[in-house]
Amino acid sequence: MNLKPYGDTALLLDCESLDEAQRWFAALHDEAEVVLGARSVLLRGDPAALRSLVGRTSPVATAASLDGPQVEITVAYDGADLDDVARLTGLTPAEVVAAHTGTPWTVAFGGFAPGFSYLVGGDPRLQVPRRDSPRNRVPGGAVGLAGEFSGVYPRESPGGWQLIGHTGLAMWDTAREPPALLRAGMTVRFVAA
Amino acid sequence: MTLVIESPGLLTLVQDLGRPGLGHLGVSPSGAFDRSALRQVNLVLGNEPGAAALEVLRGELVLRAETPTWVAVTGAAGPVTVDGDPRAYGRAIPLQAGQRLALGAPAAGLRSYVGVAGGFAVPEELGSRSTDTLAGLGPAPLKDGDRLALGAATHPPDIEDVPTLGRTGELTLDVMLGPRDDWFTTTAVRRLLESPWQVSPASDRVGVRLTGPALERARPDELPSEPCVRGSIQVSADGQPIVFGPDHPVTGGYPVLAVVLNRHTDRLAQAAPGQVVRFSRVS
């Protein structure tokens, strides 16, 4: 883990893996405002105080494994980037759908926007780069791919992921407790509509 | 104790000092883009510094008092009238029941703040009355006919004019390099610090997009999604920077080359399309 400067209101722990980031997150989340990334942990606050906090903290030995319930997400595979994803992966669009639905995904961490979760553990053939330039508007319910992740946009927002379909399921609802449908550790299975 | 929005102009939002501390829920701080202008309007009115006010994009707001109250306008300065008669910017203005406050288009800057004695008492969501345009938290953007409840007011203190905000010309923002400056070529780092950057019309509260020379990467791989803050300068694959605003995503997928210091992020609230921004490195 490397400490990296992050302006005058935060500090970044640059980790080797999601697992290492999760272990630092678990060690620090009661001590500071902590946001988990895919390979990093952001601490918000005075950088000097945070450096000292990290210096006297060790990551926990193992990230808690949360065997949550399985959630099924029904998807209409009609995304604007489905053909691009097929081209990038060397698969046909039908094979992209089969790969996306064929392997269960695990909720790694939340972020980007409320209700947005990064899903990992899917078919490795589906790793594609983000779009060269993010879209200003991605519709709510859009299902996308980026890097090793899949995810569902909880509402209309800007976004750079490759869109392969959409779902009508509400990812985030503040009238619900907890408001986020997906939480770390849950298993997600996509089903073609 | 209510005010009625007769016309919200292009975009009028309720904003306070936001909802800090909820990054772990995927919730950004949001809150007033120009926090100093929000604090000023509340100072003028004798409110708590973080009382909710209206953030008005490019003026053209008209509202009507249903009960006697005091209002004030700070941030981007433009014509302020009550029933057509000019009133001072940056001072408490009495409004009688039935009187209309109108804002013209600001001469400089983008966002004006209209405060009211006692603050706007819209319901809180996750501890704040702010509208987060990305997350969809807080009240919807205001529309014609919206009636807004007011908090308990005291008589405003007698305060001199606050200084007019809304800078014209170039904005210079202090930045610290990193965390991912090592993902970029030395030329890219030099270009960031030496080039004039033009504010793009596609800018909003999520981020201020800048156009200028391409900032080239030293490595082609994808950055695993990483948390970001208000002021993060993220560079997308087309080499153009975006400086995140109050409604920024909690994590982003492009490397952050540098971060605007907190004290200068408010200035971006008033950066109009076409205006020139420069970055100055501090260590």
Same domain, A122 and A158: yes
Residue of A nearest to B124 (CA): A174
Q: What CATH code would you report for B171-281?
A: 2.40.100.10
Rg (CA), chain A: 18
Which residue range forms the structural domain that includes residue A157? 70-192
What are the DSSP E strand ranges found in A84-166?
A: 105-111, 113-120, 135-138, 142-146, 149-152, 157-159, 162-166
Contacts of B232 in chain A (CB under 8 A): 7
Mark which residues 123-142 of A lie under 8 Å from B by CB.
Answer: 129-134, 136
Residue B191, CB-side half-sphere exposure with 13 Å CA sphere: 19
Residue A65 lies in a domain: no
Residue A61 lies in a domain: no
Same domain, A46 and A77: no
* pLDDT of A66: 47
Q: Domain with A99 in it: what CATH number? A: 2.40.100.10
Between B136 and B233, the higher pLDDT residue: B233
- For B86, B94, B116, the CA distances from B63, given in Å and listed in that order, are 15, 13, 11
What are A30-89's pLDDT values in tens digits? Answer: 899 888 888 999 999 999 999 999 999 999 887 655 455 789 999 999 999 999 999 999
- Tokens coding B42: 């509340």
> pLDDT > 90: what percent of chain A?
63
Whether the CA torsion B181, B185, B186, B188 is positive or negative: it is: negative
Same domain, A101 and A159: yes
**Record: contact B249-A29, CB cut-off 8 A:** no
User: Measured between alpha carbons, how far is A116 from A140 in angstroms, rounded to an integer?
Assistant: 11
> What number of residues does chain B have?
283
Q: B270 near B34, Cβ under 8 Å?
A: yes
Q: Domain with A22 in it: what CATH number? A: 3.30.1360.40
Same domain, A50 and A96: no
Residue A62 lies in a domain: no
Total domain count for chain A? Answer: 2
**Record: contact A180-B25, CB cut-off 8 A:** yes
User: Measured between alpha carbons, how far is B116 from B46 in angstroms, rounded to an integer?
Assistant: 10
Say if A27 is an interface residue toward chain B (CB within 8 Å).
Answer: no
Residue of B nearest to A145 (CA): B253
Q: What is the average pLDDT across A142-170?
A: 93
Q: What is the mean pLDDT of chain B?
A: 93
Name the residue among B280, B192, B281, B283 with its Cα closest to residue B242: B192
Query: What ipTM goes with this model?
Result: 0.89
What are B158-189's pLDDT values in tens digits? Answer: 776 666 655 668 999 999 999 999 999 999 99
Neighbours of A130 (CB within 10 A): 21
Between A187 and A49, the higher pLDDT residue: A49
Confidence tier at A155 by pLDDT (50, 70, 90): confident
What are the phi and psi torsion angles at A53 (to 5°)? -60, -45
Q: Which of B180, B227, B230 sits opposite A111 (nearest CB)?
A: B227
Residue of B nearest to A40 (CA): B226
Above 50 in pLDDT, residue A141? yes
Residue A128 lies in a domain: yes
Say if A45 is an interface residue toward chain B (CB within 8 Å).
Answer: no
Name the residue among A89, A77, A66 with its Cα closest to residue A183: A66
User: Measured between alpha carbons, how far is B119 from B48 in angstroms, rounded to an integer?
Assistant: 8
Q: Which of A8, A40, A146 sits opposite B261 (nearest CB)?
A: A8
| Domain residue extents for chain B | 2-149, 171-281
SS3 category, A27: helix
- For A26, A41, B270, the CA distances from A20, given in Å and listed in that order, are 10, 10, 40
What are the DSSP E strand ranges found in B39-160?
A: 53-57, 62-65, 69-75, 80-82, 85-86, 93-95, 100-103, 111-116, 147-149
Same domain, A105 and A141: yes
Same domain, A91 and A115: yes
Whether the CA torsion A53, A55, A61, A65 is positive or negative: it is: positive
Same domain, A188 and A103: yes
